[in-house]
Structure 1
Amino acid sequence: MKILDRYILTTFLKTFFPLFIIIMFILLLQTIWLFISELAGKDLDFSVIIKFLTFATPRLIPMVLPLTVLLTSIMIFGSFAENYEFAAMKSSGISLQRAMRTLSVFIFFVGIGAFFFSNTVIPSSEKKFINLRKNIVKVKPAMVITPNQFNDLGDINIKVSEKYGDNDQFLKDVIIHKRAARPGNFTVIKAIDGELQGSVNSDLITLILNDGNYYDEIQQRSPQRRNKLPFAKTHFKKYILNIDLSSLGSVDMDAQQYSKGYNMLNVNGLKNEIDTLSMQVNEEIKTLGVEIDRRIGFEGLNKNMKIDSIQDIRKDTLDIMDHFDAKKKIQIYVSAISNTEGVVRKINTLNERNVRTKRALNKYEMSLHNKYALGIACIILFFVGAPLGAIIRKGGMGLPIVIGVVLFLTYHFIGIFAKNSAEEGGIPPFLGSWLSTFVIFPLSIYLTLRATADRGIFSFDNFVQPIRDFFAKRSSKI
């Protein structure tokens, strides 16, 4: 390595690592602020808080690393241009591409390392982070009840619209789903208000509900009775529900119960999950077709019947008025309505399930592409920042930071909009992960070409000179 290459690389690294630490620290403080409600007031050990911050750090790398590369390249190359170091290089016959060569190799390896980091470290830390949050929640379950969202508390799932009182013990507009041995939510309790009562020395929490209703769905073995959706409803003035929390007394903070999230899998796991979900969607659609054919009697039709043997029927509907008596007509109409409603209900249920499955499938596919897009984004942002710093010829912490942050926020917000649109199926998941990179890629080529030619970002002479020539010709004619 030549002295010049060593100097450029050393200068870059001296700025890169401190800036990386500063940005990571700022975003880590933001993470603490976002999850402060899960940490505060739970008498957690210092080691648990350290684990929380340690597991939360790798998930910030996809934002910290590209921003650090962009800001460092702008600052360093802007400082070189401001101090006429580039002028000295050019006078010695060293071009901008030659000055960027060593850093380009370094950034290339940074991109490869970013991929392996996102494929190994981030899924593992994300799994531990999610499980640690779930375990922290179990330490003081009374604090878990957050208004306007469902919360797990013992063997129930509870939602309230408001908490009030000195200790937030009074609840308003209570909705409870009770868990049972059979899968599904078959028991629902709704009350106007309620109160939580408990003791420090007891493992039971007493929930007193006032003025509400108790709904219990009755499961029938007969399909005909099951289609009627029978249920039992009871009105109560006061209902007392005891919740056993003894199993939550000793919580293992290292327990790993959740491992299937789209952020918790590596490339191989994501590919397997994508194949599984795709097969599930296709199988459900195929099963729906068979079910509809069975309900409408398509399977029983004589498919060997020749088309020419069918009589020409001018009417669009079948007239059964002259072939059956009133009782048979009623039976036929009821059966047709029942089959039609069953098919429509089956289609709506499958459609809702497929919407959720496809949304999950989109997240898995975007998570897969994001692992590759992170490394490519670091490389492209370097080729945006380095020539931009050489063009603006300003180093330090002033203008380069402002320009770099504006560019990165544009890049980041494009990625967020593309991600949200891809999750809902508006655009393909592949485009949701790569759109921001595709947008910034032409800019990197344009800036590199302008910096190589030693020109500014925009050449105003190309716009001003034709106007000058026009007025010069008019004045000469006059």
Structure 2
Amino acid sequence: MLTILDRYILKRYLVTFIGMLLLFVPIGIMANLAEKVGKIIDNEAPLSEVIVFYGNFTLVIGNLLLPIFLFLSIIFFTSKLASNTEIVAILSSGVSYSRFLRPYFLGATLVAILIFMMGMFIVPHASIGYNEFEYKYFKKGRQDRVTDNIFNQLNENDYIYVSSFDPNRKIGYNFTYEHFDSIKKLDYKISATNIRWIEKDSIYRLTNYAKRKLRNNVEVMQTKRRLDTLFTFKIEDLTPVSYVAETKNLFELNEFIEDQKQKGASNINAYILVKYKRWALPIAAFVLTVIAVAVSSVKRRGGMGLNLAFGIGVAFIYIFFDKVFGTLAEQSGFSPLLAVVIPNLIFGAFAVYMLLKAKR
């Protein structure tokens, strides 16, 4: 049951957090708009698409920064409590420091649930429109996927390869399809100068088609100038867009990662990293809450300004660690799990140290 103290602190916690969101999110939108307005005008982006984009922008960027907003809002209102000697009065009345922390953890739990639900189910849908708009108007001409030397394992027996892929025209060049039997012996091989997806007929068109079969150590050859046929894979499966993992909800992402593992995808670490980061963000809400309370609950000569400066510094260091370890996981063999765990372990240890110091 919530006491008067719990309700008082929890109310200040949530009101300040919501106020921080209402203050900084519009600033973020205006800053981005000021930077990109030239490209929006040059590329003649429709107003309706721009409005939808900034709605998606708010969800995508806002979700990533929710723990930071939470961190700064706690420092802000707890520093005010400390400067008004309210915390001294609370602790002097016999309330332990651990009991004083309870409403903060209740608030962190509510925010963590919000971050979890947004990150797992709401933001992935917003990421589709956000990234499509980015590549259509802001990154025009830049490819949003790997387009050269694409190799995919469709299942245990089937492999495909194209030397290059044009996602706009949906054409793969120097196409090869190999099927192996149950004992991993090559059964047949299909090759073509190119493979094109004919959307209106829902078929694939192979140019300069050739199929080689091995029957009793005898090679049987079949060729055609053009062949319309069906395959079990989708043309987009040749190379998913670079942001594909960001657009999938919790259950879709798990299935997608397992599918990419079976195919032997070279950039599987990037997909796994997205998954672990979604789980790490709610945990970060608790870690940053502890640090924020420990820093701001002690009355200092510099007051709120010093506490906020410290908080902004910690926030930047946290983002720096997150980016460094994330890049290591994406571009090297570094474990995606460690890339997510290490920053939280470092800041978790720092949170415990600051908490013990504040209690003394």
TM-score strictly above 0.5: yes
Deviation at 1:380, TM superposition (A): 0.8
Deviation at 1:263, TM superposition (A): 0.4
Amino acid at match of 1:76: F
Partner of 2:70: 69
Deviation at 1:365, TM superposition (A): 0.4
Partner of 1:474: none
CA contact (8 A) 1:414 1:436 kept: yes
Q: Are positions 1:415 and 2:322 aligned together? A: yes
Corresponding residue SS for 1:184: strand
Partner of 1:108: 109
Deviation at 1:125, TM superposition (A): 0.3
Corresponding residue SS for 1:183: strand
Distance 1:358 1:259, change over 3 A: closer
Q: Are positions 1:15 and 2:16 aligned together? A: yes
Amino acid at match of 2:266: K
In 2: Cα distance, 1:62 partner to 1:404 partner = 19
Distance 1:34 1:268, change over 3 A: farther
Question: 5+ unaligned residues in a row in structure 2: which ranges?
Answer: 145-165, 175-192, 195-206, 213-239
Partner of 1:183: 172
The Cα offsets for residues 282-312 of structure 1, whole Å up to 9 and x where unpaired, read as xxxxxxxxxxxxxxxxxxxxxxxxxxxxxxx
Deviation at 1:41, TM superposition (A): 2.7
CA contact (8 A) 2:67 2:285 kept: yes
After TM superposition, list the pairs within 5 Å mapping 1:260-339 onto structure 2: 261-281=244-264
Larger Rg, first or second structure (1 or 2): 1
Give the TM-score normalised by the residue count of structure 2. 0.69
Question: 5+ unaligned residues in a row in structure 1: which ranges?
Answer: 138-142, 152-176, 188-217, 224-256, 282-356, 454-478
Partner of 1:376: 283
Distance 1:136 1:424, change over 3 A: closer
After TM superposition, list the pairs within 5 Å mapping 1:440-451 onto structure 2: 440-451=347-358
Partner of 1:31: 32
The Cα offsets for residues 295-346 of structure 1, whole Å up to 9 and x where unpaired, read as xxxxxxxxxxxxxxxxxxxxxxxxxxxxxxxxxxxxxxxxxxxxxxxxxxxx
Q: 2:295 aligns with which of 359, 369, 388?
A: 388
Corresponding residue SS for 1:94: coil
In 1: Cα distance, 2:133 partner to 2:102 partner = 44
In 2: Cα distance, 1:107 partner to 1:429 partner = 25
Q: RMSD across aligned C-alpha pairs, in angstroms?
A: 3.3
Identity %: 22
After TM superposition, list the pairs within 5 Å mapping 1:50-69 onto structure 2: 50-69=51-70
Q: Which one has the bigger strand percentage?
A: 2
Deviation at 1:367, TM superposition (A): 0.8
In 1: Cα distance, 2:104 partner to 2:52 partner = 35
Give the TM-score normalised by the residue count of structure 1. 0.53
Partner of 2:334: 427
Partner of 2:3: 2
Partner of 2:266: 358
Deviation at 1:61, TM superposition (A): 2.5
Distance 1:126 1:98, change over 3 A: same
Amino acid at match of 1:93: G
In 1: Cα distance, 2:85 partner to 2:258 partner = 56
In 2: Cα distance, 1:127 partner to 1:410 partner = 29
